């Protein structure tokens, strides 16, 4: 597979390493201020860039017939428009806030736990995410997906950073050192608490998941998710 990387930072470099180890070729590294982009050389684009640049990178690929795997977070106010552009150009697209197998299992666990806890009014939920100090967005994309998993299965209606309320899921975002990504969800009552937690030890799981998604999307048209790729639930 010939891969074009959009964003050649921490994730772009890790993806290049893993893709090459699986026999793929990196044909383009498109980073800030890229000049001519040779879309024709790419079977697929993998975007791990910035919240401000992801949408233009993605839609540029759709317009040039290149399917896209996107892991960039913090641009989702434009997600629906990206989906429209993908469909209009008969292209293919996967966005995931987190490509790791472990977190995708954690998403399922979170939804299942939320369903059970929805019947127990004595428990209040809260969430914490911890990432490295270079991270641009807060809360993390993964925390937002987890909050959506709770909202879809309980009476909670929204999430807020550092703000609680009857129907609000409070999210605390911490930025510390080099932390690759830690997410925990806590249900607290007067007598006990139940906590689930995912800790990434490095970035390999995210990068491998993105490459697997790129392999999976070959020859497909439409908008998919990691649930489709991993055949979960």
Ligand X SMILES: NC(=O)C1=CN([C@@H]2O[C@H](COP(=O)(O)OP(=O)(O)OC[C@H]3O[C@@H](n4cnc5c(N)ncnc54)[C@H](O)[C@@H]3O)[C@@H](O)[C@H]2O)C=CC1
Ligand Y SMILES: O=C(O)C1=N[C@H](C(=O)O)C[C@H](O)C1
Q: Could you give the residue numbers annotated as active site? A: 131, 135
Q: Is there a contact between 82 and 58 (Cβ–Cβ < 8 Å)? A: yes
Q: What DSSP letter does each residue of 5-44 carry, written as one string?
A: EE--SHHHHHHHHHHHHTT-EEEEEE-TT-----GGG-SE
Binder of ligand Y out of 142, 187, 205, 216 (CB under 6 A): 142
Residue 96 binds which of ligand Y, ligand X, none (CB < 5-8 A, kind-dependent): ligand X
37 in Cβ contact with 60 (< 8 Å): yes
Write the binding mask 98 to 137 for ligand Y: x where contact by CB under 6 A, - elsewhere: x--------------------------------x---x--
Residue 73 in marked binding region: yes
A 10 A CB-CB count for 77 gives 9
Instruction: Tell me whether residue 155 is annotated as binding.
Output: no
For ligand Y (CB under 6 A), the number of binding residues is: 9
- Which residue of 73, 104, 110, 154 would you call a contact of ligand Y, by CB under 6 A? 73
Cβ-Cβ contacts under 8 Å for 4 (sequence gap 6 or more)? 26, 27, 28, 30, 37, 39, 41, 42, 44, 45, 46, 61, 66
Q: Which of 55, 62, 93, 99 binds ligand X (CB under 6 A)?
A: 99
**Which are the contacts of 124, defined by CB distance < 8 A and separation ≥ 6?**
164, 187, 188, 189
Taking CB within 5 to 8 Å according to partner kind, which of ligand X, ligand Y, none is near residue 50?
A: ligand X
Residue 7 contacts ligand X per CB under 6 A: yes
Nearer to ligand Y, 12 or 181 (CB): 181
Residue ranges at the known binding site? 31, 71-73, 96-99, 132, 141-142
Binding region for ligand Y (CB under 6 A)? 73, 97-98, 131, 135, 140-142, 181
């Amino acid at each position: 597979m010939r891969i074009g990387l959009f964003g050649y930072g921490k994730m772009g470099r890790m993806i290049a390493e893993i893709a090459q180890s699986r026999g793929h070729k990196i044909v383009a590294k498109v980073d800030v201020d890229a000049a001519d982009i040779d879309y024709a050389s790419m079977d697929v684009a993998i975007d791990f860039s910035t919240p401000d640049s992801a949408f233009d990178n993605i839609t540029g690929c759709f317009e040039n017939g290149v399917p896209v795997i996107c892991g960039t977070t913090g641009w989702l106010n434009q997600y629906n428009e990206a989906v429209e552009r993908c469909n209009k150009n008969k292209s293919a697209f996967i966005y995931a806030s987190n490509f790791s197998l472990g977190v995708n299992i954690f998403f399922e666990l979170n939804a299942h736990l939320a369903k059970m806890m929805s019947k127990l009014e004595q428990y209040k939920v809260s969430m914490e995410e911890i990432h490295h100090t270079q991270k641009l967005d807060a809360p993390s994309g993964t925390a937002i997906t987890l909050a959506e998993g709770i909202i879809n299965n309980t009476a909670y209606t929204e999430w807020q950073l550092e703000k609680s309320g009857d129907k609000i899921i409070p999210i605390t975002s911490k930025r510390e050192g080099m932390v690759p990504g830690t997410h925990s969800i806590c249900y607290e009552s007067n007598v006990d608490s139940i906590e689930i937690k995912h800790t990434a030890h490095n970035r390999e799981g995210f990068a491998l998941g993105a490459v697997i998604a790129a392999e999976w999307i070959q020859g497909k048209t439409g908008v998919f998710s990691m649930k489709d790729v991993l055949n979960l639930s």
